[in-house]
Each structure stands twice: as structure tokens, then as C-alpha cells.
């Protein structure tokens, strides 16, 4: 941590602390019926915040899955608009994907990976120096789309950072039952790119590994596969019961002894980048911002029901028109 700038480590802590508080608020909103469902990021804040912070929001583009709330926050996305996706107010949320350069929530396992490669190839063809970063999990690493995308990127030298958050559980399936050889990063050699394994709960290590991969891609060095070893301490989603497939003591060990927010706090203090008063102020600011985002998304107006029928097809069909007419008749009764 000593070799990172003090302002950077403080920014990482601020974003991670805010993400932690917002995550707790989001779980509460789901329990209250405001969100139909939610996927927690607790325990993965370092992997997400540090990797997103290593990018340039003016040039690069992020392709997330459905669990990258902390990445969106660190990248500067409008968080009320982003969290609206969890409230099902609009397809992919209410924020501007193109202006934010942060893709819509993608629930297709492995889906963001080929999208990132396609964008990266297009960016290079147009003469830009942007880099795509694609998030995916250890479970997604078994999907064919991921292998094909990595092979394509390796062949064409696409400026992509493949960022695998290996949280040890592909929903209810542990690593040893779905990752042959035990390492996602080891597969990089077969695609002609560097592979790196990093402690996903060490924000400094994640930042440095990602910054190196981004610099390589931007300078024409091609793609990199990063495997950030972390842990999903909460259920896969709010509808999941992890007690059916893993021991509570396992999650508790990571929650208590490997908490990324606590680890970064200790490192920042040890490096002299902040004192307890500074971090107490950061904690208060984080809690306040999380509450503001919570209130904003909870109070956002619901879209008009007619939007069920818009943006389905470029040109409407007879069947869709019939359904719209039926809906109107029922609403007007």
C-alpha cells in the first residue's frame, strides 16, 4: 500500500465503504418489497472498486454482469439510475449506458465477455485507444461464449481486460467441481495472452494488476486475463439459501478475517495515508450517500404501463398491437 498514492488509497476506501453501506440498504429494500430481488456484492468490493478505478471513464468501456454495483459506483455511474434496474423500473436501469460507458446489467452467464471483445475490436478499427473490461465469475468461465471470446481476442490482439471474480461458488457449485485444473488464469496461455492471479480482497493488488493490464492493452499489447480470488460471503441472491450447499463457518471466516473493507482500512492507517478521524469522516460520508441513493431509487416514479409495448420491436407487429389494445381496454375499465 505504501507505493500507491495516498489520495488513491483514500478514494478506494471511500468507494468501498459507500458500496458496503449501499449494499446493506439494497438488501433491506428487497426485504421490504421495494426490490423484487437483489444480488449482494459484500466481500467483493475490493475486486470491483479497484479494477474500475484503474480505468479511464473518458476512453474505456465496462461490460458488467448483474453483480457489479461497486464497480458502477467507482466508475461514476448515476447510482439511482443504476439501482433502478434492481427495482425493475426499466430495461437495464435509468442511467445513460453510452454516456456512462458502463454497460447495462447483464444476467446472461458469460454474456458480457463477447460483448466486450466486439466493442474492443471496433474501438481498434476506428483508431481509438479505449480498453474494454469485462467482468465475469468463475462459473461463467465454463461457458462456451467465454472461451470463444477469449480465443478471438487473442487472435486479433483485442484491447480487453478479462476480469474474473472467482468468489469460489458458481451459485451452489464449488470451484473444484466446475473449473478443471483449478485455475481460470492458467487458461490464458492457451489463448496467447498473459494470465494473472491476484488477491481479490487486496484493493492495492487488484488496482496494480488491472492498471498493468489496461496499459498493455492500450499500447497495443493485446488482452489479459485476471483472476481475482475473493469470496461471496452472502447468498448468491436474496432468493438463495447457501446453508443447503456450504458451511456457515466458511463464509464467516471470510466475513471476519478477510473482509476487504477492513483490510484496506488497516492498510491505509498503517501506511499513514489517513488517520482514524479521516476515516470516521469517510464512513459518515459513505453512509450519507448510501442513504441518498436508497431514497432516490425507492422514490423514483414507476414508468407508465404502456412502456411494456415500446422498444420491443423496431416496427410493431400485429400481435403486439393487439396486446397493447387489450391492455388499454382493461386499464380504461
236 is catalytic: yes
Q: How far apart are CA 3 and CA 293, in angstroms?
A: 33
CATH architecture of the region 6-302 = 3-Layer(aba) Sandwich (3.40)
Q: Which of 232, 265, 273, 294 is catalytic?
A: 232
Residues 217-237: tens digit of each pLDDT: 999 999 999 999 999 999 999
Which phi-psi region, left, alpha or beta, contains residue 192 (left: φ > 0; alpha: ψ -120 to 50)? left
207 is catalytic: no
Q: Which of 236, 265, 273, 294 is catalytic?
A: 236
CB proximity list for 97: less than 8 A, separation 6 or greater: 103, 104
Residues 242-265: tens digit of each pLDDT: 999 999 999 999 999 999 999 999
Instruction: State the distance between the two ends of the chain, measured CA to CA, in whole angstroms.
Output: 65
* 146 closest CA partner among 65, 50, 48, 237: 65
Residues 63-100: tens digit of each pLDDT: 999 999 999 999 999 999 999 999 988 777 889 999 99
**Domain range list for the chain:** 6-302
Q: Which of 31, 91, 245, 253 is catalytic?
A: 245
Identify any residues that bridge with 135 across adjacent strands, giving them in sequence order: 163
Ranges of residues in the chain whose predicted pLDDT is under 70:
1-2, 333
5 is catalytic: no
Residue with cell 480470488: 229
Amino acid at each position: 500500500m505504501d507505493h500507491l498514492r495516498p489520495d488513491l488509497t483514500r478514494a478506494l476506501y471511500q468507494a468501498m465503504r459507500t458500496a458496503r453501506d449501499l449494499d446493506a440498504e439494497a438488501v433491506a429494500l428487497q426485504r421490504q418489497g421495494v426490490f423484487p430481488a437483489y444480488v449482494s456484492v459484500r466481500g467483493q468490493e475490493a475486486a470491483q472498486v479497484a479494477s474500475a478505478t484503474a480505468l479511464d471513464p473518458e476512453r474505456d468501456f465496462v461490460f458488467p454482469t448483474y453483480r457489479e454495483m461497486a464497480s458502477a459506483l467507482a466508475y461514476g455511474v448515476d447510482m439511482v439510475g443504476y439501482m433502478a434496474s434492481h427495482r425493475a423500473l426499466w430495461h437495464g436501469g435509468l442511467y445513460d449506458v453510452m454516456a456512462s460507458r458502463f454497460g447495462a446489467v447483464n444476467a446472461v452467464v458469460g454474456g458480457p465477455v463477447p460483448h466486450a471483445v466486439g466493442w474492443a475490436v471496433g474501438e481498434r478499427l476506428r483508431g481509438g485507444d479505449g480498453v474494454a473490461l469485462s467482468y465475469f465469475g468463475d462459473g461463467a468461465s465454463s461457458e462456451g461464449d467465454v472461451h470463444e471470446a477469449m480465443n478471438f481476442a487473442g487472435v486479433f490482439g483485442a484491447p480487453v481486460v478479462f476480469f474474473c471474480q472467482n468468489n469460489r461458488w458458481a451459485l451452489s457449485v464449488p470451484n473444484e467441481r466446475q473449473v478443471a485444473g483449478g485455475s481460470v488464469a492458467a487458461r490464458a496461455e492457451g489463448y496467447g495472452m498473459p494470465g494473472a492471479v491476484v488477491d481479490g480482497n487486496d484493493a492495492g493488488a487488484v488496482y496494480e494488476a488491472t492498471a498493468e493490464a489496461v496499459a498493455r492493452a492500450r499500447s497495443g499489447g493485446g488482452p489479459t486475463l485476471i483472476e481475482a480470488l475473493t469470496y461471496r460471503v452472502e447468498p448468491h441472491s436474496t432468493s438463495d439459501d447457501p446453508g443447503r450447499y456450504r458451511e456457515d463457518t466458511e463464509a464467516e471466516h471470510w466475513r471476519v478475517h478477510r473482509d476487504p473493507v477492513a483490510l484496506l482500512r488497516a492498510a491505509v492507517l498503517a501506511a499513514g495515508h489517513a488517520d482514524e478521524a479521516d476515516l470516521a469522516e469517510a464512513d459518515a460520508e459513505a453512509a450519507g450517500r448510501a442513504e441518498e441513493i436508497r431514497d432516490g431509487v425507492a422514490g423514483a416514479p414507476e414508468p407508465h404501463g404502456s412502456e411494456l409495448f415500446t422498444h420491443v420491436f423496431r416496427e410493431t407487429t400485429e400481435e403486439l398491437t393487439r396486446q397493447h389494445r387489450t391492455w388499454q381496454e382493461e386499464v380504461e375499465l
